[in-house]
Each structure stands twice: as structure tokens, then as C-alpha cells.
Amino acid sequence: YSDLTTYILILSLSLLIGNITLFPSLRRYIGRPVIKGMHIFKHFWPSLVLFVPQIATQIYLVLNKTMLGSMTSVQAARYFDQSDKMVKMVLAIVTATGTVMLPHVANAFANGEHEKTKRYLYKSFSFVTAMSVPMTFGLMAVAHKFVPLFFTARFLSVTPIMTIEAIVILLIAWSNAIGTQYLLPTKQTKAYTTSVIVGAIVNLIMNIPLIILWGAIGASMATVLSEASVTLYQLVAIKKQVDFKALFTDTFKYLLAGVLMFVVVWQLDQHLPSTWLMLIVEVILGILLYALLLVVFRVKLIHEAKAILKDHH
């Protein structure tokens, strides 16, 4: 119990102190707040509505580990937790675009530029797909070698869990592009909140039979299904607002490039010795092969990137 208190204090205080250190530099940008003109209660309800999906997200993040621990074993929960941490770490790279794009979309929407708002979504969706597909298939391909090297041989059970859970990288990238980068800035908070609640419910329902049948592997399947339901709900919510053909431009090409890269890297992974150097070689070869395939498939994103580089020069 005393360790638990220390652990909670370390986590919460490190976050608090980290944020406090940002305050001195704020003086350059903002003055003393005027309490009278703040209208705190006017903003309270919209903030509370945005807080609901945060709770729902936390519920189904903790739910998997809690249910695994009580229904199978603490060991299984540990395996799932390690896989989950690794997948979420890779995901952070992709979901960072949401933070960047949200103010741009919100600004375009506020100015009544609805076509520009949609163009932002199409480009952003294409970009996150291009980024998340190689991460999904790449992690699947090297999991067999990566897990024993990073977690040691005692964690070999993490390999199949991570291989299945890697699918959520692509699904969360999509739901992040639609939810954070389109639904929220265009004031469709209800659809966004509902999608996350649907995900939490699907996760709870699917966890029970899948954990009973396959333990930690079942929990990773339930995670994939819940994230798929979030993305599917969001796609249904925006179906009358956007052109799906424009939204999914080149998605098939990205997936095909990802599958071909997976086959090559997975074959290498089976035959090359299990060392960090060989793992790095596999990752570099995978990135180069994927990039080459995108050029061969004449993906629009490549032409756009070339145009941006030309403009800079």
C-alpha cells in the first residue's frame, strides 16, 4: 500500500511540476487575467461535454487490464500492458498531427470556409494513413524479434498480443483524423462523444467472451474491435458531409505497399539473427521499401510533398 501511494505521488507530482515550469514563460504572452469578463459558466458545459469522452477512453484503457487480472492472471495483464505501452508509444507520432491540425480546421470552420475544412480532412486523413500503415505492418513484422530483445525472453507471450494490437495504430489514426481534426473543430461534439462511448461499450461486451477464450490475446482482439467500432461510428456520422472517395484516395495503395513491405520484412525477420543491429537493418529496409512502393504506385501525397519542397526552394 505504501508503494502504491509513492507511485501515485510520483506520477501526479511529476506531471504537476512539469506543467508549473511552463508558467514563468507565459508572462511574455499573456497578461493578468480579468475574472469579470471570463464568463466561466458559459464555457463550463462545453468543457464538461468534452470531458465525457476522456472518462470513456480511460475506462476502456483500464478495463482490459482489470478484467484480465481478475478473469485470468496478473501475469496476463502484465503481458497486455507491455504490448499496449509499446503500441501507444508508436501511436503518439501519428496522433500528434491532431494537435497541429485542430486549430487550422477550427479557424477555417469559424470563417465559414467549409470546403477548406473538408480539404484539410482529406489531406490529413491521407497523411495519417501514409504514416500509420507502415507502423502497423512494420510492428507486426518485427514483433517476433523485437519482443525478446526489448522485454527479454521471459516476455515472449507479448509477441502475439502486440501483433494483433498493432492494427489499432491504423484505426486510432483514422478516428483521430475524423474525431479530433474534424468533428471537434466543426462543433460536432455529440457525435465524437457518442463514438467513444460506443467504443467503451463494445470493449466491455467483447472482453468477457474473448478473455475467457484466449486471455491476453482475447483482450487485444477486443481492443481492435472497440477501436474499429469508434472509427465506423465516426464514418457513419460524417457520411453526408464528406466525399468518401476523396477521403479514401490512395488508401488501397498505402495498404498494398504496407502488405508487400510486411511480407519482405517478415521473411527477413525469420532468417536474420536476433540482434539489435539486424532489427535496425529490418526497420530501415522496411521504411525504404515502403517509400519506394509509394513512388512506384504514384501516390498523390508524394506529388504534394514535391510541390511543397519546390515552393520552399
Q: Which three cell numbers stand for residue 135?
A: 507502423
Is there a domain that residue 203 lies in? yes
Q: Which three cell numbers stand for residue 245?
A: 472517395
For the chain, report the end-to-end CA distance as a whole number of angstroms. Answer: 60
User: In 3-state terms, what secondary structure has residue 182?
Assistant: helix
Is there a domain that residue 28 lies in? no
Q: Which three cell numbers stand for residue 90?
A: 508508436
Residues in Cβ contact with 127 at an 8 Å cutoff, skipping those fewer than 6 apart: 97, 301
**Does residue 258 come out as left (phi exceeding 0), alpha (psi in the -120 to 50 range) or beta?**
alpha
What is the C-alpha to C-alpha distance for residues 73 and 77, in angstroms, rounded to an integer?
7
Q: Which three cell numbers stand for residue 120?
A: 484539410
User: Which pLDDT score, from 0 to 100, does residue 310 have?
Assistant: 61
What is the C-alpha to C-alpha distance for residues 300 and 175, in angstroms, rounded to an integer?
22
Q: Which three cell numbers stand for residue 134?
A: 507502415
User: Which pLDDT score, from 0 to 100, does residue 284 have?
Assistant: 95
DSSP H helical ranges for the chain:
2-20, 23-26, 40-71, 74-110, 114-151, 158-165, 167-175, 189-214, 216-237, 244-247, 251-271, 276-296, 300-312
Q: Which three cell numbers stand for residue 261?
A: 513491405
User: Which pLDDT score, from 0 to 100, does residue 265 have?
Assistant: 95
Q: Which three cell numbers stand for residue 11?
A: 506520477
What is the C-alpha to C-alpha distance for residues 265 and 281, in angstroms, rounded to an integer?
10
> Is the distance from CB of 173 to CB of 128 less than 8 angstroms?
yes
Is the Cα torsion angle 261, 263, 266, 272 positive or negative in sign? negative
Burial of 233 (0-12, 13-18, 19+ CB in 10 A): buried
What is the C-alpha to C-alpha distance for residues 105 and 113, in angstroms, rounded to an integer?
9
User: Which pLDDT score, from 0 to 100, does residue 51 have?
Assistant: 79
- Residue count (the chain): 313
> Is the distance from CB of 172 to CB of 95 less than 8 angstroms?
yes
Residue type, position 10, single letter? I
Residues in Cβ contact with 40 at an 8 Å cutoff, skipping those fewer than 6 apart: none
User: Which pLDDT score, from 0 to 100, does residue 58 have?
Assistant: 76
Domain count for the chain, please give it.
1
Supply the pTM of this predicted model: 0.84
Is there a domain that residue 168 lies in? yes
Owning domain of residue 188: 45-241
| Nearest partner of 59 among 248, 266, 235, 198, judged by Cα | 198
Q: What is the pLDDT along the chain (313 residues), one digit of tens a residue?
A: 578 889 889 989 999 999 899 888 888 888 777 777 777 777 777 777 777 777 877 777 788 888 888 888 888 888 898 888 888 888 888 877 777 777 878 888 888 888 888 888 888 888 889 999 999 999 999 999 999 998 888 888 899 999 999 999 999 999 988 988 888 888 888 899 899 989 989 998 999 999 999 999 999 999 999 999 999 999 999 998 988 898 898 899 999 999 999 999 999 988 888 899 999 999 999 999 999 999 998 888 777 766 655 654 5
Is there a domain that residue 301 lies in? no
> Is the distance from CB of 193 to CB of 185 less than 8 angstroms?
no
Is there a domain that residue 1 lies in? no
**Does residue 84 come out as left (phi exceeding 0), alpha (psi in the -120 to 50 range) or beta?**
alpha
Other residues' Cβ atoms within 10 Å of the Cβ of residue 111: 10
Provide the greatest CA pair distance for the chain.
69
Is there a domain that residue 145 lies in? yes
Is there a domain that residue 179 lies in? yes
User: Which pLDDT score, from 0 to 100, does residue 308 have?
Assistant: 56
